[in-house]
Every structure is written in C-alpha cells, then in structure tokens.
Structure 1
Amino acid sequence: MIFRPAVSVGLVALLALGLAAGGCSALGVAAGAGAVGATAAQSEKGFRRSVADTEIRITINDLWLKADEEMFRKVNLQVQEGRVLLTGNVRLPEQRVEAVRLSWQAPGVREVINEIEVNDTSGLSNLARDTWISTKLKSTLLFDQDVSSIDYSIETVNQVIYLMGVAQSQVELDRVIGHAKNISYVRRVVSYVLLLDDPKRHS
C-alpha cells in the first residue's frame, strides 16, 4: 500500500495561484503566498476600523438622544476612519454647537466636519461677522506649526467662539485660545476642548 500524505484544498489552491502568477517558479509561489497574507492583514485591519467607526456612531447617537431628542432626529451622522461628518438642519444655533461638542466626546474621533444648517437665524445679530471670525481663526490655526488644527472644531455664535476637539497638550490649547482672543470683534471664548489624556475620552 502506498502512503499518500493529506494535502488541504486551500494549500493546493494557494500553490496553484502562486505558480500561475510566478511562472511556476519558487519565487512565484512565495509572491502568491505573500499577496494572500497581505490581503488578509488588510481585511482584518479594515474590519477593526469598521467596528471602531460603528462604535463611534453608536456612542454619538446615544449622547445626542440623551441631550436633545429633536437634535437626534434632525442631524445626520457619517463616520469614516474616525472622521465624523455632520449634516442636517436644526432650529437653533445652540443645537449646532451642542451636536459638535457631543461628537467630540466619543472615543476614537479624529475629526468632526460640521455641515449642519440652522433654520432660525433670527437670533444671530451678525451672521456675516460670525462667519468671518470662524474663518479667521481656522486660517490662523492652519498656519501655526505648533497646533494640530485638524483636531479642533470652531463655531462662532453672536461673536462668541466655541472651541471643541482634542488638544495634544495644555500648552497647545492655551495657544489656540490665545489666537481666538486676539481676533477682532470676539466677545468671549468658550472652550469644550479635551486634552488627549483626559479620562473622559475613554470613559
């Protein structure tokens, strides 16, 4: 009786793939195996990122629902690789600010992009000036090499600047607040920024 060792179907398929891709050479087999391994690793990484994005989405929706049911219904949420996009319409500018503030509280958030529109602008004394203030501060932070500008969201309502996001350090946060206070027409600066190592981000 001739003994024939068992060979898995998966291994045969892998070897065949390598031989076909590499002209039946040993190098081709190795390349084929490496490609399969890399694809598997990428898929696993993508799966973990997808799970993390789902956790962020669930956390933010839960925070919104507890804070303001109307805001929860009116604001749309998309998460991609830790980047959060907010869209929709709310009645009041305060709801727009609150939606962003709560979004930054979810662990794993890297950036919040706020495209929420406000239906009732009657409470805004000078919308054009508020827009100018926000744009001015964003530009200043972008060109400050000591500040990670992508980690901050900026909202201005009636010349009051609301800062939200995650600061790398207290020194960086103080620098950002200083920039905000130096802008013309600003009446007040309110910071909801958390430090990178703040326990609230991991609670």
Structure 2
Amino acid sequence: MKKALILAAVLGLSACSTIYEQDTRSAKTELSDTHLAMEVAGIVNKPPYRGDTRVNAVSYDGKMLLIGQAKTEALRSSLVQKVREINGIETIYDQIRIKPPLSLGDVSKDTWLTTKVKSALIGSKKLNNVNIKVITEDSEVFLLGYVTYEQANEATEIARNISGVKQVIKGFQYYEPQQQPAQ
C-alpha cells in the first residue's frame, strides 16, 4: 500500500512540468507560489477531501489553478472555499471536475501525454527558450507561462494535435514581442 501511494505521488508530480527550466518569477515569488500550493495540498489530504477528491494545485504569481476531481459538487465547493481563505492567493481558476478520482492507470496515461506534448513543444523553433508549464489531467492539457500571443497559439496548436489529448486549456500571461520577460 505504501509503495502504491509513493508511486501515485511520483506519477502525479511528473504529469506537471515545464519544457525549459528558466522562470521569469523572482525567487521570493517562486517560494511563495510553492508554499501556496503546499497549503492547498495540506487541505486536500485531510478529511473530508482525502479519498473523495484528487486535486492538484499550481500557483503562478499568486494565481492558483486547481485541477482534478471531486466526487460531489458539495466537496468541490467546500474545497474551493477553503482555498479562498488562504492568504496570498489573488485569483483561483477552478478546473475541478465532478467525477470519481482518477485511477493510477489514468494518472500514468496523463504522464505519458505530458511527455508527448513537451517533446513536441521542444521541437518547435517558434518556441525556442520559451518557458511553458505543461500539466495533464484526465487527458486535458493545461498550458501555462509568460508568452507572446503567437507563442501561445503555436503551443496550443501543437498540443491539440497530440494523439490522446481531449482538450487544451490555455492559462498564459502575455507580453508584447518587443518586451522581454523579466529574468
């Protein structure tokens, strides 16, 4: 049982990664975002959510993306309300689906889809050195990062054309091409 939980945790984390390791956030902001995501994980792993939800939290500049599943609308609503009470979260993007939590097989499939999408994005010359976070949940691909509109469209089209992807959801912040993102 313990091995299965560790494997599930590793697979869950591996379905969320970036195609390049550069990050435009300051170290303080990165640390704050990590702390916020850990606070959400702490809530999800306690009753009444543990076992009846599978929710991952991704924070970027104080904006929180919640993805996963909750068995009931009441659980989803209650969880989102608890997350709203966390100091430091500016905006919540609720992408929690009302359905039973994914199986380990489904999580493995999402990890494979993330790998395929990342590989395809890396192969694009238009996305050279662009930091895009790819998260896959139940065959839905979430793309996050600080990009131009052209880069967002390119990344979205690439992800949409990967076999097995049901839907692509953009969560980008945009800058004008003449601007360079802060390093």
| Higher RCO structure, 1 or 2 (CA under 8 Å, sep 6+) | 2
More strand by share: 2
Q: If the length of structure 1 is used for normalisation, what is the TM-score?
A: 0.44
More helix by share: 1
Q: If the length of structure 2 is used for normalisation, what is the TM-score?
A: 0.48
Which of structures 1 and 2 has the bigger CA Rg?
1
